Amino acid sequence: MIESVSASIMAPTGPRRLSLGWESAHRPSPSGRVVFVSDLSPRPRLVMPLAEHVAGYGRLPSGLTMRMALDTLRASNLTGRGGAGFPFWKKLQAVATAESRKSPVVIANGSESEPLSKKDTLLLKNNPHLVLDGISMIAGLLGAKSAYLYVKDREAHTAVNAAMRERRERGISELRVTVVEAPAGYVSGQETAVVRRIAKGPALPQFSLDRISTSGVRGAPTLLSNVETFAQVAIVLRFGADWYRQGGQGSDRGTRLLTLVGAVGRPGVYELLPGATLAELLREADAGDPRAVLVGGYFGRWVDLGTPNSTNFPMDDQTLAERKLSFGAGILGVVGHDTCPVVEAAAITEYLAGQSAGQCGPCMHGLPEISTAMARIALSSDVERGMHDLRAVIPLVEHRGGCQHPDGVIQLVRSTVGAFAEEVKLHRSGRCTARGSHTSVLLPPGATVAAGAVVR
């Protein structure tokens, strides 16, 4: 029998769900399906006060049981927003049923190790109470005595600590959430790196035969998910699966926060409502006539916009999967006609090769070789040899790392040479379609690379 949460609390009206009440000027698209919620400026934000938060979302539901939560989360099909897109209810069930004498641990990962991502930091700065609601509900259901928020951004730390003080003063939640600083580095946000760091070890991935759901922080069953996922949990468990799934298509029909960066007039964080198309999103972002979009961040895949109808599809998980795309870490990188996407990808590959934790041979030695091969292709220095080296090295590296880092790089490389096969052909004869100076629009400012791209 399904015993789930019904929408006993009035659901938020209007198009915004996670971004309800953010201080930035909201501007829904004409269809109302794309909401520009914030630019990327580092200026201090106004945290939504607790009273406003409760007025917007309602109080935390009472009498919630694990059975009700699991049924509701399963019916909602809520998937993780940090990259892997794993169904949240399965994670919860795995930790809830883990055989262990140790009390479970809950971790919300807001480290955003993808340098271009800002959605989680901005969510924490603007609406920390929604994330804390999700953490306290899940920790309460699991009987967890320890909960952690793993965050890199200093202002997000401050916002979360202030929100927790406010909750304690108002008697909203007894749970103490420890904020742990995430160090710099691309792999510091990887699952096992987070678990090691929380246990006061180095923030480096660790190979283990055990899943963290059975043996995570100091051997305790551990539920780790992205901060946006916890915010989504907070609204699903308040308003029910039916409300969450209204409209749109695909299995996970909830809204999504996306960081949109690159060659657009309005970079920022957007909330995507069910049914929103890529064309609509690019229009809202003032992208003009872009050349290509990297969907899902550095481990994502390219959409070549030179092909007809390439943006006219809804951005839902099902449609993306049919096109071999995924939201990944919730980042869309737009490249214009000034820059060659192959040069851009070669520069990202070089950056990622430099981010290896240096613990596994195939990753430590193989990624620099893949990066060199990509540079040959990008710079038209010896495209034949570059392609040959990719074919030779990739099988020696793929699935041989202690974490997903090398496989993510390989996915980007394969997508690049596949989506831009014509461009690669041009490079063979020393030509390139880029009209500009190859200034990278997707590398983090200050990154040092030699793969032909000029860094801002």
- Least gap, CB of 414 to ligand SF4 (angstroms): 17
**Binding flag, residue 111, ligand SF4 (CB under 6 A):** no
**Binding flag, residue 196, ligand SF4 (CB under 6 A):** no
- Least gap, CB of 113 to ligand SF4 (angstroms): 11
- Comparing CB distances to ligand SF4, the nearer of 126 and 188 is 188
**How far apart (Å, rounded) are the C-alpha atoms in residues 316 and 102?**
38
Sequence-ordered list of residues with C-beta below 8 angstroms from that of 300, at least 6 positions apart, any chain: 294, 325, 326, 328, 331, 333, 411, 412, 415
Using alpha carbons, select from 135, 189, 133, 179 the residue that is nearest to residue 157. 179
**Binding flag, residue 189, ligand SF4 (CB under 6 A):** no
**Binding flag, residue 359, ligand SF4 (CB under 6 A):** yes
- Comparing CB distances to ligand SF4, the nearer of 331 and 363 is 363
Using alpha carbons, select from 241, 240, 293 the residue that is nearest to residue 264. 293
Sequence-ordered list of residues with C-beta below 8 angstroms from that of 392, at least 6 positions apart, any chain: none
**Binding flag, residue 357, ligand SF4 (CB under 6 A):** yes
**Binding flag, residue 358, ligand SF4 (CB under 6 A):** yes
- Least gap, CB of 362 to ligand SF4 (angstroms): 7
Using alpha carbons, select from 298, 265, 262 the residue that is nearest to residue 442. 262
**How far apart (Å, rounded) are the C-alpha atoms in residues 33 and 37?**
12
Taken in order 118, 123, 125, 128, the sign of the CA dihedral is negative
- Comparing CB distances to ligand SF4, the nearer of 77 and 356 is 356
**Binding flag, residue 241, ligand SF4 (CB under 6 A):** no
Single out the segment in contact with ligand SF4 by CB under 6 A; choices: 99-107, 216-224, 352-360, 374-382: 352-360
A 10 A CB-CB count for 6 gives 12
When CB distances to ligand SF4 are compared, the closest residue is: 401
Residue with tokens 């074919």: 391
- Comparing CB distances to ligand SF4, the nearer of 205 and 254 is 205
Sequence-ordered list of residues with C-beta below 8 angstroms from that of 216, at least 6 positions apart, any chain: 105, 195, 222, 224
Question: Is 24 exposed, middle or buried, given 0-12, 13-18 or 19+ CB atoms closer than 10 A?
Answer: middle
Count of residues of this chain found to bind ligand SF4 when the rule CB under 6 A is applied: 14
**Binding flag, residue 310, ligand SF4 (CB under 6 A):** no
**Binding flag, residue 364, ligand SF4 (CB under 6 A):** yes
**Binding flag, residue 401, ligand SF4 (CB under 6 A):** yes
Residues that bind ligand SF4 (CB under 6 A): 187, 205, 356-360, 363-364, 401-403, 405-406
